[in-house]
Amino acid sequence: MADKFPGWHGTTIIGVRKGGKVVVAGDGQVSLGQTVIKGTATKVRRLRPGGLDVVAGFAGSTADAFTLLERLEVKLEATPGQLQRACVELAKDWRTDKYLQKLEAMLIVTDGAALYVVTGAGDVLEPEHDVAAIGSGGNYALAAARALMDSDLDAENIARKAMAIASEICVYTNGNLTVEVL
């Protein structure tokens, strides 16, 4: 599908776990080629399957990400309180289902304790350094957040500063943030 839409560029999503809190933050920019189509998109969502609080941020195709979020909610309802298992089941389906294989997105998911990156390659990754980032500015945000982890800043302020740095470097990332804290 990327061949059909080569001009679409993405976003930056970061997850930071520190001091008993997990924060997921995402920028609001959607670009087509060199044009900003929208600056206020919401790419971080709070899910509440079965009363469980889960936050997910996505990078990639919006329609694909919404499909994955819906599937994740179903998996969470089938495995209450087991975020890792739900993510693994989603990744298995994503990897093996002919329809889902075509989806182009990545997710950062947290329940306030665990933090995962879920990919279409079948990966469910838990970051070693309590920071995960995806999207076109993900590596910039990741590097900034990792550098800030030893500071006195809390998880939310680390995420905000890292996103500000990424937005100054990556032309596909803006400073209009959606931030969710668990």
Q: What is the pLDDT of residues 22-75, one digit of tens each?
A: 999 999 998 887 888 899 999 999 998 777 899 999 988 888 888 889 999 999
Q: Is residue 181 part of a domain?
A: no
Kindly name the residue from 11, 12, 173, 178 that is annotated as catalytic: 11
Q: Is residue 1 part of a domain?
A: no
Q: Is residue 99 part of a domain?
A: yes
Residue 11 among the catalytic residues: yes
Q: Which of 33-42, 88-97, 151-160 has the highest mean pLDDT?
A: 151-160
Rounded CA separation 159/145 (Å): 7
Q: Is residue 182 part of a domain?
A: no
Which CATH number is 143's domain given?
A: 3.60.20.10
Q: Is residue 152 part of a domain?
A: yes
Q: Is residue 2 part of a domain?
A: no
What is the residue range of 57's domain? 8-176
pLDDT at 158 over 60: yes
Cα-to-chain-centroid distance, residue 114: 14
Rounded CA separation 122/20 (Å): 28
Tally of structural domains, the chain:
1
Listing DSSP states for 152-179 in one string gives S--HHHHHHHHHHHHHHH-TT--S--EE
Q: Which percentage of the chain shows pLDDT scores above 90?
A: 69
Q: What pLDDT is stored for residue 7 in this prediction?
A: 41
